[in-house]
Amino acid sequence: MAEEQKKSVMELSFEDRESLVRYTTETGKILPRKFTGLSAKEQRHIKKTIKQGRNMLLMK
């Protein structure tokens, strides 16, 4: 297996579906900061990235 380097939250793009699934529920809702443990800036980035993925029909 190739070693997978963990990307920081700010480096994620909407194409990284496998990484973004961690921040959503099974129904596709974005998890709040209370559950993700992210800073406000990181949470805004995740929200924007997930919504971009949804618009591109890559995510639920």
- pLDDT by position in tens, the chain (length 60): 444 456 788 999 999 999 999 999 999 999 999 999 999 999 999 999 999 999 999 887
Which pTM was predicted? 0.83
- Strand-pair partners of 30: 24
| Alpha-helix runs per DSSP H in the chain | 17-20, 33-36, 40-55
Written as one letter, the residue type at 29 is K
pLDDT computed for residue 2 by the predictor: 47
- State how far the Cα of 35 lies from the Cα of 16, in Å rounded to an integer: 20
How many other C-beta atoms can be found within 10 angstroms of the C-beta atom of residue 20?
21
* Domains of the chain with CATH codes: 12-55 (4.10.640.10)
